[in-house]
Structure 1
C-alpha cells in the first residue's frame, strides 16, 4: 500500500505514505492548495469547539486551517512563527521537536501577538496532532502570553494522540508499521 484513503469532513483524500524510519510510515496530510478540504474541515471543527476569543496556530501547515476558522467564526487568528521577522518586537519563544521535522525548531510570538492573547480564551488549531510536541509548544506560548486555553483542536489525531481526552479532532489517522 502506498496511499491511505482518508475520509474527513464528508470528503475523501488519497494520502501518500511516507517512510518516517525503517519500521514506520506515516500518511502525509497536506491542506495546502486544497481549499475545499480546508473550508469543510474548518466548518466541522468549529462545530466541536467551545466558545473562544482568538485562534492560535503554528507556521506553516496550520495557517490555512487557522485562517479559515477565523474567517468562518469572525474571530482573529495568530500564527506562531518559526523565525523572528524584522517587524517582530520583543519576541517570546519556545522550542519544539516535531515528528515531521528533522531538527528542533523554535516558535515565536511578537509583543503585539502576546497582547492579543493576554487574558483571552484561546483556541489552538493545527492540522495534525501526533506526538503532541508542536501542541505543547503552542500551549507554552499561550501560558507565557497570559492567555487561557479553552480547547486544543486538530483535523486529525495520529496514532496514540487519538486516545487523548484533552484534544478535539475530526478523524483518526493511523500509523503504518512495516
Structure 2
C-alpha cells in the first residue's frame, strides 16, 4: 500500500488537531467568575415576639439570606444579611429596615445578628423596634436557637417598650 503526500498531510493535520484538543481539555479551566459564598437561614419552629407581660404580640417565621463577607476557614463567618422575610399569623406584618444587618457566626457554637431594625404592624398600628438577636448551637451542622431583645423606637402597635424575640430553632447554612 502506498500513501500519497496529500493523505500524509491530512493525517498529520488530524493528529495535530487531536493533540491540541486533548491538551485543551486536560488543562485547568479558569472560570469567568468565582461563585460567591452566601448565607441562608430560617426558623423551622415559630418565632415569637413577646411583650414584657409575657403576652405574645406576634408568632411568625423568618427566612434570610446574604453574602459572606469573611470566612476564616475555621468556622468563623461574617455575612451581610440583605434579604429578610417574615411571615406572621393573625395579619401581623413585620418588615425589615436598614438592611444589610451583620451576622457573626461561629459554626456549631453560636451567632449574633447586629443591626436588627423592624417595623411591626398590627391592627393597632405600626411600631419600629431595633436591637440584636443571637443564639447557641442546638444540634451540629447549623441548628441554633434564637433569642434577643428589641427596643421600641417609635409608634404604637400593642407591643411593649421592650420585646423579647424567641424561637426554638433557627437553621443557618453558609454554603454556596
Same fold (TM over 0.5): no
Give the TM-score normalised by the residue count of structure 2.
0.29
Q: Please identify the structure whose Cα radius of gyration is greater.
A: 2
